Amino acid sequence: MNKQKTYLSTLEQKLAEKEFAVTCEIGPPKGADKEEISEAAGFLKGIADGINVTDLQSSVMRMGSLTTSALLIEWGYEPVFQMTTRDRNRLMIQSELLSAYVAGVRNVLAITGDYTNIGDHPQAKPVYDMDSVQLLWTMQTLEQGKDLVGNDLTHKPAFYKGAVVNPGADTEAAYELQILKMKKKIEMGAQFFQTQAIFDAETFKKFMDRLEKEKIDVPVLVGIILLKSKGMAKYMNKFVPGVFVPDNLIEKMEKTDDKAATCIEIAADLINEVKSCCAGAHIQALGWEKHIKPIMDLVQ
C-alpha cells in the first residue's frame, strides 16, 4: 500500500501536483498598524496559494516580516516568510528560523537583501554574515537536527525552501551567473524559485528552455509586477537591473485612459503567454492588490 505524501504547505502540495500556483506579495506597513496588512490580504483570499511577506524591502524600515507572517497565519492565510541576510548574523538567522517554525511558518524564501545605502536609513550598518545560498544551507542543517556548530536541537524544524532567480539578466556573464547560482541554491536545498519581474514573454521562455537543457527541474514561478504608469516603466528600465519593459508596453500605458484596466490586461496577457512553461506566477501588486482577482479571471 502506497503511503500518501504529507506536504508542509498548500503551496508545496500545489506545486508538487503540477497545478498552476499563484503567490502574491504584501509589504508590511511603516508603522504599528495591522489594518493595512489585513486589508491587503483580504483581496488575496481564495486567490493566493502563498503570500510573500517582504523583509525590509529596498532597505526601508518597516514592521517585521516574521510578525506579519504570524498575523497572516492567525487570520487563515499561508505566508511565504522572506528572510534577508543583510540585517542578521548567523546566530539571529538560526534563532529566527526556529521562531518562524514555532509560529507556524513553513514556506521560507531566502534572499541576500539590498544594500542599506539605497534605503531610508543609509547610515545603517549591514551585516551580510551569510548570503542567500548559505541561508538555504542553514535551513537544511537545522532540518537535520543540528545548529551550525554541530549542537543537537531538541526538535527539528521543516521548511519548504524557496529562492529567487533573474531570467532577464542583461549581460551574458550575468546570465550565466544566474544559472550557476540557481544550481548552487538547489544543491543547498532550494525547492522552488520565484523570478525577478518579466515583461517580455520570449525572454522568459528562453530562460525556461535553458533550464530544460541544463536538466534543472524545480518549480519556477514567473514574476509579474503590476505596471501602473509610463513613469514606473521608465524608472524600472533605468534603475532596476535585469528588468526591461518593452517600448510597446510603455506606449500602451502612455496612451491609455484607464491605467488600471490596461495594467490588468498586460499582466493577464503575460501570464497566459508563459503559463505553459512555468509552475505558477508570483504577482507583485505594489498596493494594487484589488486588481489581482480581475487578472486571474482573465488567465486561461
Amino acid at the residue 70 = A
In Å, how far are 26, 48, 178 from 78, measured between CA atoms? 12, 8, 28
Torsion (CA) 73, 74, 75, 78 in degrees, nearest 10? 10
Q: 39-57 burial string, b = 16+ CB within 10 Å, else e?
A: ebbebbeebbbbbbbbbbb
Please give the CATH architecture assigned to the domain spanning 10-298: Alpha-Beta Barrel (3.20)
Q: Provide the Cα torsion 32, 283, 208, 192; round to 10°.
A: 40
Q: Rounded CA gap, 6 and 14, in Å?
A: 12
**Identity (one letter) of the amino acid at 195?**
T
Domain boundaries, the chain: 10-298
> Whole-model pTM above 0.85?
yes
Residues forming a β-bridge with 224: 283
What pLDDT tens digit does each residue of the chain (300 aa) get? 456 688 999 999 999 999 999 999 999 999 999 999 999 999 999 999 999 999 999 899 999 999 999 999 999 999 999 999 999 999 999 999 999 999 999 999 999 999 999 899 999 999 999 999 999 999 999 999 999 999 999 999 999 999 999 998 878 999 999 999 999 999 999 999 999 999 999 999 999 999 999 999 999 999 999 999 999 999 988 888 778 899 999 999 999 999 999 999 999 999 999 999 999 999 999 889 999 999 999 998
